[in-house]
Amino acid sequence: MSSDTTSGDAALDINTAHDLSVQPVTSKPRRKRHAPKVRSGCVTCKQRRIKCDETKPVCKRCAVSDRECAGYQVPKALVFGLVNDKEEQWSFYYFRDRTSAELLTFMDHRFWNTLVIQAGHVRPIVRHALMAIGSWHEAVDHEDYARRRDRQQFALQQYNKAIGCALKADGQGEIDELLLAIILFAFFDNIRGEWATSLTHLQSGRRIMSNANKMARQVESSRSWSSTVQRHVAPIFDSVHQAVACSMPLLSRCLPSDGVALPSKLKSLRDARYHLHEILHTISEKLDDTYENFPWPTSDTKTILEGRQVLCQWHDTFQTYLSQAKRHCLCSGASSTCHFELGMYHIQMQYLFGRLRLECEPFRQETSFDALNHRFEELVRFAELFLQALGRDDAVGAQQCVGFGVDYIGVMSMVALRCRDPRIRREAADVVRRGYAITKHPAHLYVPELCGYLTKLEEMKATVPSPQHCSQIPNTARVHIVSSNLFIWDEANQTYDM
């Protein structure tokens, strides 16, 4: 027998083959053919010991096999050679090391660490968007005014670069990155107060997803991309869209509208919420015009009267719907009204908030809220009911059931900050604080802390030692927040930095 081997197999000398019948041969064990180790594949494919196609942000092998792609380990040379511009490097690392850590409560860490940051290393459109968010975050955190302005200008430059990349994007291979960038665009516009632009980005992203999914059903090769979108991108779009939509009624200059056409009958809670938001958007726009056309102390009484009329019309239609609606659902396995109640209380609180703003904001006087303390009390009662329903075992999944996000922190924060009555504002802060035991969201802690601090400052200037009514606190004692950082605790004042 020859001692030579070929490809790991035992080879036989032809001259000794006749001896096999009397001399058994012990062959060497078979071994796999040597292959160089792939160092650039995704973590999941490496663990499975298969070749990765290295599609980013999620490889096609993982998508086709319905596995979660754990992302790519970035080579050190790529990390330090990302871009030549020192300022761009700083902003990217600021987002990676600082901003992403503080955004973990907003979205799952896999979105930031696996999808976004990994894509940012190889896709300019995502990288510039991350730099814009990181630079804007640095501007918010910085104490020096000149540095803040510089960071904001740089953030806008990076934002414009990312938009330029988006306009040039073409081809199905870039759709994943384009959708990730659109989410970042919406997030960037949201944190700088451009809510209407943020919503426009999200609507554009939804159109892209819809068209791409239609194409995926027709083209077999699009299967892996469609799976990636459905598993990773689509849920994120829903989450961001709901966050922006829920905040827009609390803000001015949202969406232009030439009027609101109310239906004679509402079909669902989601339908009721949609039409209420349309009304609140229109009122917000008209209130902005009031500031320009009616200098203080005059006000636009026509806007107030028209707003009352359309809000009352919506409220009557909503009450009719509630009297006829089937409130039970089967989401939690058994028939339950919990999800319906949460959605109902959420909508009613939004309605009352709209009434308060309509009645008070045109006058631009803090004391104008004093005449509507009964509305503030009504809001607190709804928040109590909402909190009771939220604490039930069958409350899980309410957002998916009713079709929109349900919450009460924003409305109760407004009560605690805008209402001047000591008792009502303390009740509102307490309702928010008690919600922490259920949601574990940090906002349930720092919002009451902030409200309590402002209340204490205002009551120090009251006409009596322990004021019990807003009439005992002069209007000149009002405190307005110019800026705040809820991530910095001021030890001297025992409150958050403001």
Pick 180 or 75 by higher pLDDT.
180
Residue 366: CA count within 13 A, CB half-sphere:
18
Q: What is the pLDDT of residue 355?
A: 86
pLDDT in tens, 11-34: 334 343 344 344 444 555 555 554
Q: Which of 100-104, 348-352, 437-441, 460-464 has the highest mean pLDDT?
A: 348-352
62 vs 311, residue with greater confidence:
311
pLDDT band at 387 (very low <50, low <70, confident <90, very high): very high
Helix/strand/coil for 10:
strand
Q: Which long-range CB contacts under 8 A does 450-455 form with residues at least 24 apart? A: 450/481, 450/484, 450/486, 450/495, 450/496, 450/498, 451/413, 451/416, 451/417, 451/425, 452/426, 453/493, 453/495, 453/496, 453/498, 454/417, 454/479, 454/481, 455/416, 455/422, 455/425, 455/426, 455/429
Q: Residue 316: pLDDT band by 50, 70, 90 thresholds?
A: very high
Q: What is the reported pLDDT for 174?
A: 66
| pLDDT > 90 in the chain, percent | 11
Question: Residue 193 pLDDT > 80, yes or no?
Answer: no
Average pLDDT score over residue span 79-108: 69
Across the chain, mean pLDDT equals: 73
Query: Is there a contact between 429 and 448 (Cβ–Cβ < 8 Å)?
Result: yes
Find the range with the poorest average confidence among 86-95, 292-301, 463-472.
Answer: 292-301
pLDDT band at 490 (very low <50, low <70, confident <90, very high): low
Q: What is the pLDDT of residue 213?
A: 64
Most confident range, picked from 201-205, 216-220, 384-388: 384-388
User: Does position 218 have pLDDT exceeding 70, yes or no?
Assistant: no
- For residue 72, give both structure tokens: 């790519």
pLDDT digits over 365-383, tens only? 666 677 888 889 999 999 9
- Say what the pLDDT of residue 37 is: 53
pLDDT for residue 104: 56
The arithmetic mean of pLDDT across residues 224-253, rounded, is 51
Interval 139-171: pLDDT, tens: 877 777 788 888 888 999 999 998 888 887 655
For 131, the token pair is 């730099």
Q: What pLDDT shows up at residue 21?
A: 41
* pLDDT of the residue at 147: 83
pTM of model > 0.85: no
- pLDDT greater at residue 431 or residue 239: 431
Q: Which residues contact 167 (CB under 8 A, 6 or more apart)?
A: none
pLDDT attached to residue 299: 58
pLDDT confidence band for 78 (50 / 70 / 90): very low
